[in-house]
Structure 1
Amino acid sequence: MRIEFAPLNVPLRRRLQTAAVVQWIFSFLALAQCCLAAFVLLALSDWWMVALLYAGWLWLDWDTPTNGGRRSQWMRRWSVWEHFRDYFPLTLLKTVDLDPKKNYIFGFHPHGNKHTCTPALFSPAPWCVSPCMCLSSGVLVAGAFGNFCTEATGFSHLFPGLKPHLLMLPFWFRVPFFREYIMCGGLVSSSKSSLSYLVSRPEGGNVAVVAVGGASEALDARPGALTLQVQNRKGFIKLALKHGAQLVPVFSFGENELFDQIENPTGSPLRRLQNRLQSIMGIAMPLFHARGVFQYSFGLIPYRKPIRTIVGKPIPVVQTPSPSSEDIESLHKVYLQNLAELFEQHKRSYGLADDQHLAFI
């Protein structure tokens, strides 16, 4: 394989953008392990009292990730996120104003091909159809993170009075130190109680961002893919009805263009192995690749592809404390229709052809 190296005269701004993306990838692939190791080493050192005090704080603060988290506007406005935004670049667009007195559930699509689910051992959300969480290390979905965990694309300016909360697997909020870092960006637990807390606040102003597609969608995610695993994803619909939260479809054009994935068509030996591992362990293993830091031929750094995230119109939801199957099915059909319309209205601005349509499975 011929390796294409990056030129030596790359402008400083582009080097800063690449560095911002590298630290982002490190944060959600290795930082948790580093934090856990640091805590263990601290507990075994002469500074064990610090570890003991933090353990006490962890016990007292245990429920915070399910009670709205603890965001830091200072951290969300770090300049590093502006470099992260400009790497792709990343853009957030709204179609209508949203009432800050109401609560919303943003259904984020597509999930992207950077997804790692965790087995049901780690308390999967009972409201999610899949045994895997909707979002784990899959926070590496660039559009979801950049738009809703930072202010780089101007969420607070576009939607004044609203606070976005990106849902993440509960297990990560049990990791010492790491939990504090991710909560600062607005990440919260993806448990049922966490989502219910957000969308049931009487004062309104909360946005729960859910990556609806699961592990199966990740295995089909690759450049040009327009297939979404949504037909059986109805847990968030039920909670929207139960609490009267407005449903908002969100489509992120370019999300699937960031990584290549080794061909794994349905029925192939690789796909059968991936499906087998998913059914046994609850782990999706898409074999993805893109570019490196100093060369463009291979690696885990995403390609420089523009991402345009479109926030659609809210779907009015009448609060139904005990929704029936018919209620859920009816609202689910409306949601899918609105999602398809959002895609059709904006696909040309992203350069997609008229004959390209979303496929729901």
Structure 2
Amino acid sequence: MSPTPQATSLEAEEHRKPVPDQVSTKDAHNAPLVYTPPEYWQGSKLPKWLQWILSEVFIFITIHYNLWLAPFLFLFYYLIQHEYYLTVVAMIVVYLPSFLDGSESTAKGRQWDSFRTHPMWHIASNFLGIKIIREQALDSNKKYIFGYHPHGIIVLSRIATITVYPGGVPEIFLVEPKSKENVIILKKRLGFVKLAMRHGADLVPTFVFGEKWLYHLWTPSKNVVDFVRKTLQIPLILFWGRFMWMPFRPPQGKTFGVVYGKPISVELNENPSDEELHALHATYMREVERLFRDHKKAFGYDDDETLVIT
């Protein structure tokens, strides 16, 4: 499970907290931003046990969004069986315009801001205790590509995403919660760097901390994984959390969150040479290593934990 850069949400609720040895007094705009969502239940008169139950139910419902279709199909079946035909037709008529507006093929989608920014989503962020660190503000007039590490179990879908996961599916199976080595696949992943150069888009190295504590993952043999990928064209990923796919809360003293690094300047170059490509790639790898080294302690990683780039 991996977080995405919701710039509007961050700016709307921006809480600046100085990070030692990183804040520049000369340029407050470029000062690091440390964001932790406000407590949803703060000041609530509901008893703690009821807050806990409501939070658990909310997380269960939202995380299992792919199962929402089942009750709606059952409702349609019930209405048809009991001859509520007009009700069925009315429901279809109400939904049909949104189905035919073509928003699935655009980056805009059917945005519902009042729902998207509703405070109830703080229940989810409080559940995991998420922390977001942005090392430097970005220029809205520039183009960017965010490189995410490591690859999560569930990531963004197609259409106009500004993020790439260089490690790909094989990186998922390298997750080992108890290992001191945090392995990512990057050394030979040059495609996203070439893409950035061809479009003149600055690269933003991004590291997600604490993912490895959220789910249990069963890794079958390599032969089985390769067979399923080649035959069905999908990865064989068997994972579970609490109550099916609800994520586990991070262990005591550990934190789940994401760090957006400083953008790496990229000049427009439609036909980069191998030397130019590898030079930029080397710079990017060094920045990813620095992100892990500089921020691992803030997320509860042990001092002797290392990042291994393969």
Aligned pair partner of 2:257 in 308, 314, 336: 308
User: 1:71, 1:280 → 2: CA distance?
Assistant: 36
Aligned identity (percent) is 29
Equivalent residues of 1:213, 1:228 under 8 A apart: yes
Q: Does 1:168 align with 2:157?
A: yes
Equivalent residues of 2:64, 2:245 under 8 A apart: no
Gapped regions of structure 1 (runs ≥ 5): 1-8, 115-137, 140-166, 170-188, 196-207, 293-298
**CA RMSD after TM alignment:** 3.2
Gapped regions of structure 2 (runs ≥ 5): 1-46
User: 1:33, 1:237 → 2: CA distance?
Assistant: 42
Cα distance change of structure 1 residues 70 and 308 upon mapping to structure 2, 3 Å threshold? same
Instruction: Name which one, 1 or 2, has greater alpha-carbon Rg.
Output: 2
Query: Which residue number corresponds to residue 162 of structure 1?
Result: none
Query: Which residue number corresponds to residue 177 of structure 2?
Result: 223
Equivalent residues of 2:206, 2:258 under 8 A apart: yes
- Tell me the amino acid that sits aligned with residue 308 of structure 1: G
Query: Which residue number corresponds to residue 155 of structure 1?
Result: none
User: 1:237, 1:211 → 2: CA distance?
Assistant: 12
What SS is found at the alignment partner of 2:221?
helix
Equivalent residues of 1:88, 1:304 under 8 A apart: yes
Equivalent residues of 2:200, 2:266 under 8 A apart: yes
- Tell me the amino acid that sits aligned with residue 252 of structure 1: V
Deviation at 1:254, TM superposition (A): 0.5
User: 1:61, 1:326 → 2: CA distance?
Assistant: 43
Aligned pair partner of 2:123 in 80, 83, 89: 83
Q: Does 1:61 align with 2:102?
A: yes
Equivalent residues of 2:256, 2:299 under 8 A apart: no
Deviation at 1:282, TM superposition (A): 2.4
User: 2:224, 2:141 → 1: CA distance?
Assistant: 48
Q: Name the TM-score, length of structure 1 as normaliser.
A: 0.60
- Match runs of 1:315-326 below 5 Å: 315-326=264-275
User: 1:53, 1:324 → 2: CA distance?
Assistant: 54
User: 1:94, 1:228 → 2: CA distance?
Assistant: 21
Aligned pair partner of 2:57 in 2, 11, 19: 19
Query: Which residue number corresponds to residue 193 of structure 2?
Result: 237
Aligned pair partner of 2:166 in 193, 209, 212: 212
User: 1:350, 1:358 → 2: CA distance?
Assistant: 14
Q: Name the TM-score, length of structure 2 as normaliser.
A: 0.69
Q: Does 1:31 align with 2:72?
A: no
Query: Which residue number corresponds to residue 235 of structure 2?
Result: 284
Q: May I ask how many residue pairs the two structures share in their alignment?
A: 254
Query: Which residue number corresponds to residue 109 of structure 1?
Result: 149
